[in-house]
Amino acid sequence: MYEALDSEVRLGILEELMTHGELNLAYFAKRFNVSNGAITAHIKKLHAAGLIEITTSSGVRGTQKICCLAADKVIVDFQPWPQTEGRVESAHIDIGHYIGYEVHKTCGIATEEHIIGGFDDPAAFSFPERVKAGILWLGWGYVEYLVPNYLSAENGLKELRFSLEIASEAPGYAAYYPSDIHFSVNGKFLGIYTSKGEYNDRTGTCNPAWWYGNLGQYGKKVTISVGQEGTFISGVKVSDTSLRDLALRPEEQIKFRIYVPENAENRGGFTLFGRGFGDYGEGIVTEFIYQ
């Protein structure tokens, strides 16, 4: 990342994207008076550092590569003393192991071998084979999971963390299709992650060979962290909801919900990637981090 930022041209590219939102490579070549090849090299460095996203767009002039910012800030935290973590209990939840759902079109669910039921069939989410699912998608609604409860009276919980791979769900395909994806625990609102679109510009690293090229291929890794100071998504504070607000107890169920409300400002649904799909192939990872 530091190498990517060590260039006046690359810093200029980031500044242009902050101002304009999305731009193609031809714009940068003209703006900075350099060759297309040189701009491509600069863009590759920024992309490799995770600072920009690249999608493809078809138009009257053929296929173009479109760039946008992947993040609007970089935080470097030099701790004055080493931080220590206590015991960590973690669990992997397969995405087909939801305990409740409400699904609206466009929607679907699939295992590594085939589609369950059919496309745009909400009833397929009730089929027994759904426990083997590696990917699911919906236009709006929710899926809810029962989280393994590792709490005990003797240990002080410092942080509850969820990580998952997710993207928007567009009818057909749309590289830019924002969606306000909400998260909650036991009905307590945690925060919103706005997905920029449905990623289809390349094949997901873990996808099976038969997976349809016109469907979502991969998502972004999103981490939701609830601590003493509030809730953070990918390191950015999104709400004041803290562990105290959740009031979790050892003997009670912990329910984690992923949802897009019908009245969301950006109702772009979501695609949730699990084992055998996307870039990570791991479903939902939960972590209980103790003092």
pLDDT along the chain (291 residues), means of 10: 89 91 90 90 90 78 82 68 69 97 97 97 97 98 96 85 96 87 98 93 91 91 96 93 95 96 97 95 94 83
- Tell me the two tokens of residue 280: 């990570």
Confirm if 195 and 182 have CB atoms less than 8 A apart.
no
> Counting Cβ atoms within 10 Å, is residue 76 exposed (0-12), middle (13-18) or buried (19+)?
exposed
pLDDT at 272: 98
What domains are there in the chain, each with its CATH number? 2-69 (1.10.10.10), 88-290 (2.60.120.260)
Phi, psi for residue 100 in degrees, rounded to 5: -160, 155
What is the predicted pLDDT for the residue at 153?
76
**What was the pLDDT predicted at 85?**
56
What is the pTM for the complete model shown? 0.76
pLDDT of residue 73: 72
Distance, CA of 269 to CA of 179 (rounded, Å): 6
Between the CA of residue 145 and those of 74, 86, 155, 253, 257, what are the distances in Å? 32, 26, 24, 10, 6
Residue 48 is classified by DSSP as H
The radius of gyration of the chain from alpha carbons, rounded to an integer in Å, stands at 20
Can you give 207-274 as a three-state secondary structure string? CCCCCCCCCCCECEEEEEEECCCCEEECCEEEECCCHHHHCCCCCCCEEEEEEECCCCCCCCCEEEEC
pLDDT of residue 61: 65
Name residue, tokens 């939840």.
93
Phi, psi of 18 (to 5 degrees): -65, -35
The pLDDT value recorded for residue 59 is 62
Fill in the DSSP letter of residue 119: T
pLDDT at 217: 94
Q: Which two tokens stand for residue 244?
A: 């105290």
